[in-house]
A and B are shown apart, each in its own frame.
Chain A
Amino acid sequence: MTKPRPTGGRLSLFGRKLEISGVLAKRVGVFGIEVPAAAIAIVVGITMIAITIWGVIFSRAPQTITQHVEHRYDVADPQFVRSMSVLLGPALEPGNRVDTLVNGKQIFPAMLAAIRGATKSIDFESYIYWKGTIGKEFADALAERARSGVKVHVLLDWVGSHKIDQGSINEMGRAGVKIFKYHQPHWYRVKTLNHRTHRKLLVIDGKVGFTGGVGIADQWDGNGEDAEHWRDTHFRVEGPVVAQLQGAFADNWTQASGAVLHGEEYFPALSAVGTLPAQMFKSSIEGGALSMELMYLLSIAAAKSSIDLSMAYFIPDALTMDHIVDALKRGVRVRIILPGEYNDSKLVRSASRSEWGRILEAGGEIYEYQPTMFHCKVLVVDNHWVSVGSTNFDSRSFRLNDEANLNVYDRGFAARQTAQFEEDLTKSRRVTLEQWRGRPIYIKAWDNVVGFFEPQL
């Protein structure tokens, strides 16, 4: 005789007893053991969650460059300008003026003055916006302009701006500023969680633009004088290329709000105000995927005499590394300034260090900036071609985030950046191959473990 099968049951989950009944209470044999259907449902559920997380973490841009970009022409060749113009989207345009702003002391007053001078529109996109004096000043200035009838659009990354003062958001909202958070998590868009906007754009009346490394936080204030005041470079732009800066903003704004920014207020007619040929291009997993990596590879492949790279986060992948080593073999001098002890991400520093071997062996010069966190993102090739903006030299910038960079093709402008580079060099310490090889074993091991996560850093 068999006992009557129970029609209901209990399941212990996290210490709580759950009453189960109906179909979930049915018992099913697995490996010859009878388990409630509820248990199977839980297993299926966990599998699905695992798949989703796997999807979030490993979803990368679909297009990846896998083949070496050969050195076929150098930066001075018109072919180089054509490649950059057609492959990155918007073409290089003549007639621009770009002012170099060094550290918060110069950067913030210039940005705030431009905001206060706005008469039609202000478009502002940032990754970092943290609570503090600088954050308050920006919020006040933006709110004041919005109250005067200027159309103010603020797009902040949801992750990068989590430390923002809610009071500032309320203040701006009340004043009529339109604020969107980029990729706020939604259950139906889990995959986008890993894709942040890292673009740093400020456009005033469609006529004056800013881009560079700076985030809105007190860490960027001052003059790089101590650990609490970082070293960074930002740029103020005027001329026809500002329409391309505005285009990069409008792209993300449509994505976040569904509205299209167009017309005179945002895209006025722009005449030449300077002599610099320049281009602003964007990249994102959703739009123009690998443009950023493409720009770096084409630039490195074109280098003939020198590459000077100021880089806050430097974790090249194997392909980029090959290109740097190749350039060194062609006789290109490669100098790289990175942050030293003062680094806001120890993980990045470790992962970065695990990769220096090949560059140092091939004769590359690597320097660590001593006084404070070094947050610049500036590439200068052959003292002729300059790329600046939000982009770090890592997989997160190349493949996961939305980025935008300004490229300037001018020897005078490049010389100005090289002079700044060499000034930073005097405050940096060189890392030799011997020192690198002589790291204690536990540091090497740790660097390599962290380096394993390169695709996400």
Chain B
Amino acid sequence: MKFKFSLPKLILVLVLTAILTILCLSLFSTSEKEVTHNITHEYPVDDPQFIRTMGVLLGPAMVEGNKVETLLNGEQIFPAMIAAIRSAKKSISFETYIYWSGEIGKQFADALAERAKDGVKVHILVDWAGSQKMDAAILAEMKSSGVQIKKYHPLKWYALDRLNNRTHRKILVIDGLVGFTGGVGIADSWNGHAQDPAHWRDTHYRVEGPVVSQMQAAFTDNWTKVSGDVLHGPLYFPPEKPAGTLFAQMYKSSTDGGADSTHLMYLLSIAAATRTIDLSMAYFVPDKLALEALVAAMKRGVKVRILLPGVYIDSSIVRNASRATWGSILQAGAEIYEYQPTMFHCKILVVDRLWTSMGSTNFDSRSFRLNDEANLNVHDREFAELQVANFEHDLKSAKRVTYEEWVARPWWEKAWEHMMGLLDPQL
């Protein structure tokens, strides 16, 4: 048998091999800085040592004098964000993973375009992958009004290894003075008040005070990466004034910047817990280290409650992979609940009713090691109590999953979950 390779075919084979190699390598190239040893409980969250640790290990220190308002569901979130955009006088910095067409997308675009026409500097950074459904007409409207729009990590042949690293940060900063962060994406699924499966449950936060400059810095970090331009000066970083009484910090993590900070923050928080951990989490696929930390906390007597999406979830792979990991924590006494009415998109951790972390970060490997994330941490009892009250309100619409139920799943479900669980490093 004789087969001939023509020159073009040979070149094609070589090129394809090279691309495949790079893709495979890039899939397995996560952050190099990885916590692999468990963190022991040495001090509780009300110890000054805890605050020092968070300050020095995550980057920016905790600062006093902040005000953080809790916004529930699109019904409260979107009007507050749009009002803030309309009030902008100097600059608007907006970074989001999902920004697509639809009623909400249009409202944001109109407000942003209107401000840009008025001479306000408007910078929009959307993730290239997350914004694939973005409407071209909306883009054109904003660009022609003078809005600067950049896409994060677009598909480029010379940067294939970055394709798997997305920005998941959700940051809106107005005049360097008012900031927003939380779980919300700019799309119609977030609108309303979680009344049905088409309207999701989510929580977002409006922030004022010195910590806003840290939010602005998390934005400028990615803006510089994408545009090569350094945002600085009073338009973006005006003098800081106290606006409230909260002790807060905004930190960022990414594969090429502050690598494992998110993972570190979760592990340090869990290790510090002495009484309670209340976790509202859209995507929960813990790795071995996080599971061990949760089990160790329960052995110390910490009560762990975890609220996750139920049947309404936008990613059934994640739900399956998540279920595969529940065994050890259910056995150790964790209470896992599934939210019934609609997709549950909150990402909030409350420890000992004192320490709260919220923002873009999911409890999974993608958030811990692959994506660019940013979270706001607040160290305040009253603020934490409010978050726990919301948590308990959500619990009323949730169904508990017991260890017995979990063990009694049909074998094909278990098998399928374990297969999905293999994808853990990418989820």
Contacts and interface: CB of A to CB of B under 8 A. Distances in A.
B257 to A, nearest CB: 5
Contacts, number: 167
A251 interface: yes
B21 interface: yes
A286 to B, nearest CB: 5
A246 B55 CA distance: 12
B14 interface: yes
Nearest to B13: A44
Interface stretch (A25-33, A159-167, A348-356): A25-33
Interface in A1-58: 5, 27-31, 40, 43-44, 47-48, 51
Contact of A82 (B213, B229, B267): B213
Interface stretch (B57-65, B95-103, B331-339, B401-409): B57-65
A254 B7 CA distance: 49
Contact of A289 (B228, B232, B256): B256
Interface residues of B, number: 64
B230 A260 contact: no
Interface string B240-284: 100000000000000111111000100110000000000000000
A87 B232 contact: yes
Nearest to A263: B42
Interface size class of A (residues with CB under 8 A): 35 or more
Contact of A297 (B217, B230, B234): B230
A301 to B, nearest CB: 9
Contacts of A192: 32
B320 interface: no
A69 interface: yes
A87 B231 CA distance: 9
A371 interface: no
B259 A286 contact: yes
Interface in A49-94: 51, 61-67, 69, 72-73, 78-79, 82-83, 86-87, 89-91
Interface of A: 5, 27-31, 40, 43-44, 47-48, 51, 61-67, 69, 72-73, 78-79, 82-83, 86-87, 89-91, 188-189, 191-192, 243-244, 246-247, 250-251, 254-255, 257-260, 262-264, 267, 269, 285-290, 294, 297-298
Interface of B: 2-5, 7, 10, 13-14, 17-18, 21-22, 28-29, 31-37, 39, 42-43, 48-49, 52-53, 55-57, 59-61, 159, 162, 213-214, 216-217, 220-221, 224-230, 232-234, 237, 239-240, 255-260, 264, 267-268
28 contacts: A27-B2, A29-B5, A48-B17, A51-B22, A62-B159, A62-B256, A63-B225, A65-B224, A65-B230, A66-B227, A69-B232, A72-B233, A78-B239, A79-B237, A86-B213, A90-B61, A188-B28, A189-B32, A258-B35, A259-B35, A259-B36, A262-B42, A262-B57, A264-B43, A286-B33, A287-B33, A287-B259, A288-B258
